[in-house]
C-alpha cells in the first residue's frame, strides 16, 4: 500500500479513537450513569387488639407492647432550617395498634439523659407523629412541603411532667402565675392549663405550624434506663375531619420525629424520618396477637444503623468547635480578638488577616455554601464550618511571619486552591530574607567592583569542551 495512504489511515484511526474517548468522557463528565433502586416506604403494621390503655404509668410498659412487632425507623436530622444540629438521634422504634375505637402509638429511642425542663440554653426532649389529612396525598419529602395539611402530635417532656406529675420542671417559672394579692389567677392566657402532654398541631409546609383549637390527643412518656418510651392515644375517627387526620381505610401515612434537648434540639431542629406507610388492620379481622407474633414477616426492620453512622452523628460535635490547646495560658485572661471569616467557594473574606505577634485571636468561620475547612499552616489549627454552623478556634499568634490558611474539606474543583493569608507581624522571616538578599547584593557588588585581578570572558562549558 502507498506509504501516504497508510499514514493517513493510521492518523484517521488515531483521531477517531481519541474523539470517541473524548466524547465518552464528555458525556459522562458529571458521573457515569448509575441505577438506583427506589426504596419503598417502610411499613408499620397497626394491628387490631381488644385492649384499652388509660395511659397510666404501667400502660407505657403494658404487656401488649411486649407482643407487638417493632419497626425500627431511621431518622436523619433536618437540613432545611439553619442552624444545623450538634448531634442527632439515629433511629426510633415504633409500635402501633388500635382497638376499633382508639389508635395507639409507642415510640422508644435511646437518650442518655432525660431533659424535662426548659430554661436558658436548656431544651426539652420530645417526639412527634405526623399524619397527612389526605391519606391519598402523593408522597413528598417532608421538609420540602406537604402534599396536604398534616396533623402533628407533639409530645414534650416538660408538658408530660406538668400534666402527669404536676411539676413545672422549673420551680420559679410560675412565680407570677398568681399574684400575691389575688386569690385567683386572672391572666389565664399567660400560662395555659396543660390538659395533655401532647400538643395537637396542624401544618402545611415549613413555617406554617399552628396549634389546633381542639386538642384531641393524649400521651405519656417515661424515661427509664437511658430509653424514652412515649405512648400516644387518639380516637381513630374524630368529628373534625378538616383538622384531624382520620384512620378510616386500611392505609395511611405517617412520619416520626425526635427532639434531643441536650443536643440543642428545639423547634425545627430535630431528627425525623421519611414517610412511613401505616398498614391498618380492620377491626373485623380477629387475628390473634399470638398469630401475629409468629409471623416474622410482620416485623418490619428498616435500615440497620451501623456503628459508623452513629459515630458520624456524634462527630458533628467535635467538628463544630475547634480550639488549640497550645499556648492558651500565655494570655488566657485577655479577651481574644474576634476575627469573623466568611468562607465560600473558593475564597475567604477577608482573605488577608493581619495580627500582631503575641495577640490572642479567635477565628470564627461561617460558610455561605458548602462545608469548608480552615487549616492554618505552622499552627496546625484545623476547624470546619458546615453551612449554618460556626467553626471557631482560639489561639495565640506566637509565631511571626506570613502563613497560609487553606480549606481542609473538599468543597469543589478549586478546593486545593482555596487559600488565605494570615500575617503575624512583624514578618521577621521576610525581613530576614530581604536583609540577606541586601547584604549579598552589597557583597557581590563590592566583589565585582573591587576585584583587583581582572578576568577575561569565559566562552565555553569548560568541563566538556576542549
Site for other proteins in 326-365 (CB under 8 A): 346-349, 351-352
Torsion-angle region of 49 (φ positive above 0: left; ψ -120 to 50: alpha; else: beta): beta
Nearer to other proteins, 269 or 372 (CB): 372
Nearest-CA neighbor of 197 among 245, 175, 229? 229
Q: Dihedral, CA atoms, 92, 305, 132, 41, nearest 10 degrees?
A: -140
Task: Mark 374-413 with x for binding to other proteins (rule: CB under 8 A) and - for no binding.
Answer: -x-xxxx------------------x-xxxx-x-x-x-xx
Binders in 208-237 for other proteins, by CB under 8 A: none
Helix, strand, coil: what percent of the chain each, to 5? 20, 30, 50
Applying CB under 8 A, the span of 70-78, 187-195, 363-371, 422-430 interacting with other proteins comes to: 422-430
Least separation in angstroms between residue 8's CB and other proteins is: 9
Is there a contact between 123 and 266 (Cβ–Cβ < 8 Å)? yes
Nearer to other proteins, 273 or 408 (CB): 408
Angle at 341 between CA 336 and CA 342, to 5 degrees: 160
Nine cell digits for residue 106: 409507642
Least separation in angstroms between residue 144's CB and other proteins is: 26
Q: Is 449 in the site for other proteins (CB under 8 A)?
A: yes
Nearer to other proteins, 179 or 430 (CB): 430
Least separation in angstroms between residue 376's CB and other proteins is: 9
Nearer to other proteins, 187 or 433 (CB): 433
Q: Is 463 in the site for other proteins (CB under 8 A)?
A: yes
Q: CA-CA distance, 70 to 302, in Å (whole number)?
A: 10
Nearer to other proteins, 84 or 421 (CB): 421
Least separation in angstroms between residue 330's CB and other proteins is: 18
Residue 46 CA neighbour count, 13 Å, CB half: 27
Q: Is 430 in the site for other proteins (CB under 8 A)?
A: yes
Q: Is 441 in the site for other proteins (CB under 8 A)?
A: yes
Q: Which phi and psi angles does 365 have, rounded to 5°?
A: -110, 135
Residue selected from 24, 177, 179, 187 as contacting other proteins according to rule CB under 8 A: 24
Is there a contact between 394 and 336 (Cβ–Cβ < 8 Å)? yes
Nearer to other proteins, 329 or 461 (CB): 461
Binders in 28-57 for other proteins, by CB under 8 A: 28-32
Applying CB under 8 A, the span of 127-135, 176-184, 309-317, 449-457 interacting with other proteins comes to: 449-457
Q: Is 7 in the site for other proteins (CB under 8 A)?
A: yes
Look at residue 409 and give its three-state secondary structure. coil
Binders in 146-175 for other proteins, by CB under 8 A: none
Q: CA-CA distance, 392 to 318, in Å (whole number)?
A: 11
Nearer to other proteins, 112 or 455 (CB): 455
Applying CB under 8 A, the span of 70-78, 327-335, 354-362, 444-452 interacting with other proteins comes to: 444-452
Nearer to other proteins, 261 or 322 (CB): 322
Residue 262 CA neighbour count, 13 Å, CB half: 8
Angle at 408 between CA 406 and CA 414, to 5 degrees: 70
Least separation in angstroms between residue 133's CB and other proteins is: 44
Least separation in angstroms between residue 336's CB and other proteins is: 21
| Distance from the first to the final alpha carbon of the chain | 50
Q: How many residues bind other proteins (CB under 8 A)?
A: 74
- What letter would DSSP give residue 463? T
Nearer to other proteins, 122 or 339 (CB): 339
Which residues, including other chains, have CB under 8 Å from residue 388's CB and lie 6 or more apart? 82, 83, 84
Burial class (CB in 10 A: 0-12, 13-18, 19+), 429: middle
Amino acid at each position: 500500500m502507498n506509504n501516504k495512504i497508510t499514514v493517513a489511515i493510521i492518523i484517521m484511526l488515531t483521531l477517531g479513537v481519541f474523539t470517541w474517548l473524548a466524547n465518552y468522557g464528555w458525556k459522562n463528565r458529571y458521573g457515569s450513569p448509575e441505577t438506583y433502586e427506589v426504596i419503598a416506604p417502610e411499613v408499620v403494621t397497626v394491628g387490631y387488639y381488644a385492649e384499652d390503655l388509660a395511659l397510666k404509668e404501667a400502660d407505657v410498659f403494658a404487656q401488649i407492647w411486649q407482643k407487638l412487632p417493632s419497626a425500627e425507623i431511621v431518622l436523619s436530622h433536618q437540613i432545611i432550617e439553619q442552624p444545623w444540629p450538634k448531634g442527632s438521634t439515629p433511629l426510633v422504634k415504633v409500635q402501633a395498634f388500635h382497638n376499633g375505637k382508639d389508635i395507639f402509638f409507642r415510640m422508644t429511642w435511646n437518650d442518655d439523659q432525660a431533659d424535662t425542663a426548659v430554661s436558658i440554653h436548656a431544651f426539652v426532649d420530645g417526639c412527634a407523629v405526623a399524619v397527612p389529612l389526605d391519606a391519598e396525598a402523593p408522597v413528598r419529602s417532608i421538609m420540602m412541603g406537604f402534599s396536604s395539611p398534616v396533623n402533628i402530635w407533639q409530645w414534650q417532656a416538660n408538658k408530660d411532667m406538668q400534666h402527669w406529675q404536676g411539676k413545672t420542671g422549673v420551680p420559679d417559672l410560675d412565680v407570677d402565675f398568681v399574684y400575691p394579692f389575688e386569690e385567683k389567677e386572672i391572666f389565664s392566657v399567660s400560662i395555659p392549663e396543660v390538659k395533655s402532654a401532647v400538643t395537637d398541631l396542624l401544618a402545611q409546609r415549613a413555617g406554617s405550624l399552628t396549634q389546633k383549637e381542639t386538642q384531641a390527643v393524649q400521651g405519656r412518656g417515661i424515661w427509664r434506663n437511658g430509653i424514652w418510651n412515649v405512648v400516644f392515644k387518639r380516637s381513630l375517627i374524630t368529628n373534625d375531619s378538616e383538622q384531624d387526620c382520620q384512620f378510616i381505610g386500611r392505609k395511611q401515612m405517617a412520619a416520626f420525629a425526635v427532639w434531643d434537648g441536650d443536643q440543642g434540639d428545639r423547634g425545627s431542629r430535630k431528627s425525623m424520618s421519611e414517610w412511613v406507610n401505616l398498614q391498618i388492620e380492620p377491626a373485623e379481622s380477629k387475628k390473634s396477637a399470638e398469630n401475629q407474633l409468629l409471623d416474622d414477616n410482620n416485623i418490619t426492620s428498616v435500615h440497620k444503623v451501623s456503628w459508623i453512622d452513629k459515630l458520624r452523628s456524634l462527630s458533628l460535635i467535635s467538628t463544630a468547635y475547634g480550639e488549640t490547646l497550645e499556648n492558651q495560658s500565655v494570655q488566657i485572661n485577655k479577651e481574644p480578638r474576634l476575627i469573623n471569616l466568611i468562607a465560600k467557594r473558593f475564597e475567604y473574606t477577608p482573605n488577608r488577616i493581619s495580627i500582631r505577634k503575641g495577640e490572642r485571636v479567635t477565628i470564627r468561620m461561617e460558610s455561605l455554601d458548602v462545608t469548608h475547612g480552615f487549616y492554618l499552616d505552622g499552627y496546625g489549627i484545623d476547624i470546619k464550618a458546615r453551612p449554618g454552623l460556626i467553626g471557631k478556634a482560639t489561639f495565640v499568634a506566637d509565631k511571626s511571619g506570613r502563613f497560609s490558611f487553606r480549606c481542609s474539606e473538599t468543597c469543589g474543583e478549586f478546593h486545593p486552591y482555596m487559600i488565605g493569608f494570615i500575617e503575624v507581624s512583624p514578618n521577621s522571616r521576610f525581613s530576614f530574607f530581604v536583609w540577606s538578599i541586601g547584604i549579598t547584593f552589597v557583597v557581590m557588588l563590592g566583589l565585582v567592583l573591587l576585584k583587583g585581578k581582572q578576568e577575561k570572558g569565559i566562552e565555553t562549558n569548560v568541563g566538556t569542551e576542549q
